[in-house]
Amino acid sequence: MPEAYPTPSYAVNLWVTGDDLWIAFPGQGPQERGHSVRLPASVAGLQTAINILKERAVAPSLKLGYRGTPTQYELEQDKKYGAILAAMKEDAEAKRLNKTLAEMELAELGL
């Protein structure tokens, strides 16, 4: 049986829910309160997650507010990430419009 690889102290949990890529940062310090941030489940979102993980590997501290442990607010203030969020919002609005149009056409056909 192979030896288990030890999980590094800077590891995070990642998961996808719908169109969102979530990163959960474990808690640090005496209270050990972690937090999560939401990124788009897209190439740009995954690239942002990879950049955060690279920062975590070399960060002097894994405490909240450092580059390797950003808050949702800090991500939203980032100009590049802000553009990603705007694109996500436009895409969601376009999907809602297309769904409404499709429902109207089906209703017109009696379906």
For 38-74, b where at least 16 C-beta lie within 10 A, e where not — what string?
A: bbbbeeebeebbeebeebbeeeeebebeeebbbeeee
Domain boundaries in the chain? 13-108
Cα dihedral 73/76/78/81 (nearest 10): 150
Per-residue pLDDT reduced to its tens digit, 26-68: 877 667 778 889 988 888 888 888 888 888 888 766 676 667 7
Whether the per-residue pLDDT at 84 is higher than 80: the answer is no
At 88, is the pLDDT very low, low, confident or very high (cuts 50, 70, 90)? low
Distance CA 30, CA 99 (A): 49
- The end-to-end CA distance of the chain, in Å, is 58
Verdict on whether the full-model pTM lies above 0.85: no
Whole-number Å distance between alpha carbons of 100 and 16: 26
Secondary structure element (H or E) that encloses residue 96, with its range: helix 79-108
